[in-house]
């Protein structure tokens, strides 16, 4: 978390991407979850660029529209800053320190690890657990982000009449939802090494987990917008026309061969490139599973193509596969949107920490 802690009831998970606001609300009874509400609302072009908010008012309006559409009554929310906008450091500290003592010591030492003035950042920490090499110390994860990254998200939510209670990091939001994604493959070893490739409209990220803990993350510019732009060029359409045709169909017969298949190949190449960066980072891990997420994961056949080329079992992310649905949630619509809702779902799960 990056600076907000208090929560006392169900939280709306709100994911702000370059093209839309995504919102999910969950409830839990025992070990069973249910989707109480969800909504996706588009953002104007350039309101968010590469996950950085440019127009707070436009984002706040989209959050308000999504909230109304969802039908939720909860006004507390959890949000996240991009992983690329966060500095993290694992510290070793005496296990005997109380929370307040640990916080005071981290405040004194934080300037050693953060290349900004402490007045310019929001920082937080979380105890990971005992240090493997010294039982008298614990490993502590320090996270820090420029205050503007947090403040702009808070301002957008407040404009919509919502109150942020948790500010997380996108990679850790994915870590929260990972156990639900693993339920899709009951044979998967709980200690497996899993890569989640999240391919959105303009950004692609890869997060790798071992023993259900984050060990690697990377982001770069690439996404479904490139397919939309190729449709524009190929068929002489405006951007809006190409976007509608991509979603609703009606493109000429040669679309599949001339446009979609080359884009699928490009997607697979991008994911494989990410994986090569991971393997080149010094890890000796081998991948047990790839999970495709984001709007582009819904393109038919891309999972089979990636599995064939990467040589690793690949599935499409669906955090709701084992969940019940509130009567107001459309099963077909949420099924179509599921791969792009993993961050919002991970944030909604913070309700149950």
Residues 199 and 220 in one domain: yes
Q: In which domain, by residue range, is 275 found?
A: 186-316
Position 277 pLDDT exceeds 80: yes
Are 292 and 343 members of one domain? no
Instruction: Assess whether 215 and 312 both reside in one domain.
Output: yes
* CATH number of the domain within which 198 lies: 3.30.420.40
- Which domain CATH number covers 142? 3.30.1490.300
Last residue of a domain, one of 127, 146, 165: 146
pLDDT tier, 9 (very low <50, low <70, confident <90, very high otherwise): confident
Angle between helices 147-159 and 56-70 (to 10 degrees): 50
DSSP symbol at 332: H
Does this model's pTM top 0.75? My answer is yes
pLDDT of residue 107: 86
Label residue 5 by pLDDT band (50, 70, 90). low
Residue 332 has pLDDT above 60, yes or no: yes
State whether 40 and 180 are in the same domain: yes
Tell me the per-residue pLDDT of 12-32, one tens digit each, with 9 for 90 and over: 999 999 999 999 999 998 889
From CA 293, how far away is CA 276, in angstroms rounded? Answer: 19
196 within 8 A of 317, measured Cβ to Cβ = yes
pLDDT band at residue 4 using 50, 70 and 90 as cut-offs:
low
pLDDT exceeds 90 at position 287: yes
- pLDDT score, position 208: 96
SS3 category, 295: helix
Share of the chain above pLDDT 90, in %: 78
Question: Is residue 8 pLDDT above 70, yes or no?
Answer: no
Strand partners, 221: 203
Q: Are 344 and 171 in contact (CB under 8 A)?
A: no
Q: Enter the tokens of residue 264.
A: 């699928």
For a pLDDT cut of 70, what percent of the chain falls above it?
Answer: 98
Do 219 and 294 belong to one domain?
Answer: yes
Q: Shortest CA distance to 123 belongs to which of 114, 135, 133?
A: 114
Give the Cα separation of 73 and 161 in Å (integer): 11
Question: CB of 121 within 8 A of CB of 114?
Answer: yes
Encode pLDDT of 37-93 as tens digits.
999 999 998 999 988 999 999 999 999 999 999 999 999 999 999 998 998 888 999
CA distance 254 to 32: 45
CA 151 to chain CA centroid, Å, is 19
Residues 133-164: pLDDT tens digits?
898 999 998 999 999 999 999 999 999 999 99
User: What gap in Å lies between CA 285 and CA 193, rounded to an integer?
Assistant: 7
| Confidence grade of residue 119 (pLDDT, cut at 50, 70, 90) | confident
Q: What is the mean pLDDT of residues 4-16?
A: 77
Are 127 and 229 contained in the same domain? Answer: no
**314 against 116, higher pLDDT:** 314
Residues 203 and 50 sit within 8 Å (Cβ to Cβ): yes
Compute the average pLDDT of residues 323-339.
96
If pLDDT is split at 50, 70 and 90, which confidence band does 113 have?
confident
DSSP E strand boundaries for the chain: 12-16, 20-29, 32-42, 48-49, 52-53, 76-81, 86-94, 121-131, 134-146, 163-169, 193-199, 203-210, 213-221, 289-293, 314-316, 324-325
Name which of 54, 47, 57 is nearest 19 in CA terms.
47
Average pLDDT on 220-241 reads 94
Same domain, yes or no: 210 and 296: yes
How many domains, the chain? 3
Three-state secondary-structure class, residue 255? helix
Instruction: Please give the average per-residue pLDDT across 3-19, as a whole number.
Output: 79
Cα–Cα nearest to 166, from 186, 143, 187, 188? 143
Distance CA 195, CA 131 (A): 25
Residue that is last in its domain, among 146, 168, 196: 146
How would you label 109-129 residue by residue, b for 16+ Cβ within 10 Å and e otherwise? ebeeebeeeeeebbbbbeeee
Average pLDDT over residues 322-326: 96
Residue 57 is encoded by which pair of tokens? 């008012």
pLDDT recorded at residue 160: 97
Task: Evaluate the CA torsion angle 312, 283, 169, 247 in order and state its sign.
Answer: negative
Same domain, 179 and 299: no
> In terms of domains, do 250 and 328 share one?
no
Q: What is the pLDDT of residue 50?
A: 85
Flag whether pLDDT at 297 surpasses 90.
yes
> Residues 290-316: what's their mean pLDDT?
96
> Is residue 63 located within the same domain as residue 112?
no
Q: Are residues 210 and 295 in the same domain?
A: yes
**Same domain (yes/no): 59, 2:** yes
For residue 1, what pLDDT is reported? 53
Residue 96 CA to residue 100 CA, distance in Å, equals 12
């Amino acid at each position: 978390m990056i600076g907000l802690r208090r929560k006392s009831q169900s939280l709306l998970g709100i994911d702000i991407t370059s093209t839309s606001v995504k919102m999910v609300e969950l409830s839990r009874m025992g070990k069973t979850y249910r989707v109480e509400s969800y909504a996706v609302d588009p953002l104007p072009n350039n309101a968010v660029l590469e996950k950085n908010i440019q127009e707070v008012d436009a984002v706040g309006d989209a959050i308000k529209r999504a909230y109304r559409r969802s039908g939720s009554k909860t006004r507390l929310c959890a949000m996240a800053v991009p992983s690329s906008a966060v500095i993290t450091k694992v510290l070793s500290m005496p296990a005997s320190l109380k929370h307040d003592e640990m916080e005071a010591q981290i405040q004194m030492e934080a300037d050693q690890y953060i290349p900004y003035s402490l007045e310019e950042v929001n920082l937080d920490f979380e105890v990971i657990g005992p240090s493997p090499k010294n039982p008298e110390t614990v490993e502590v994860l320090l996270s820090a982000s420029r205050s503007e990254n947090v403040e702009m998200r808070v301002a957008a939510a407040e404009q919509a009449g919502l109150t942020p209670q948790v500010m997380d990091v996108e990679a850790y939001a994915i870590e929260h939802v990972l156990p639900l994604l693993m339920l899709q493959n009951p044979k998967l070893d709980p200690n497996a090494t899993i890569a989640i490739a999240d391919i959105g409209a303009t950004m692609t990220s890869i997060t790798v987990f071992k023993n259900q803990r984050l060990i690697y993350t990377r982001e770069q510019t690439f996404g479904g917008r490139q397919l939309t732009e190729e449709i524009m060029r190929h068929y002489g359409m405006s951007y809006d026309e190409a976007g509608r045709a991509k979603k609703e169909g009606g493109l000429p017969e040669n679309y599949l061969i001339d446009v979609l298949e080359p884009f699928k190949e490009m997607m697979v190449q991008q994911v494989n490139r990410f994986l090569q960066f991971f393997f080149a980072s010094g890890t000796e891990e081998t991948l047990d599973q790839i999970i495709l997420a984001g709007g582009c994961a819904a393109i038919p056949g891309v999972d089979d193509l990636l599995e064939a080329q990467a040589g690793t079992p690949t599935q499409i992310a669906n955090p709701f596969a084992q969940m019940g649905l509130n009567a107001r949630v459309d099963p077909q619509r949420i099924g179509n949107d599921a791969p792009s809702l993993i961050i919002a779902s991970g944030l909604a799960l913070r309700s149950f920490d």
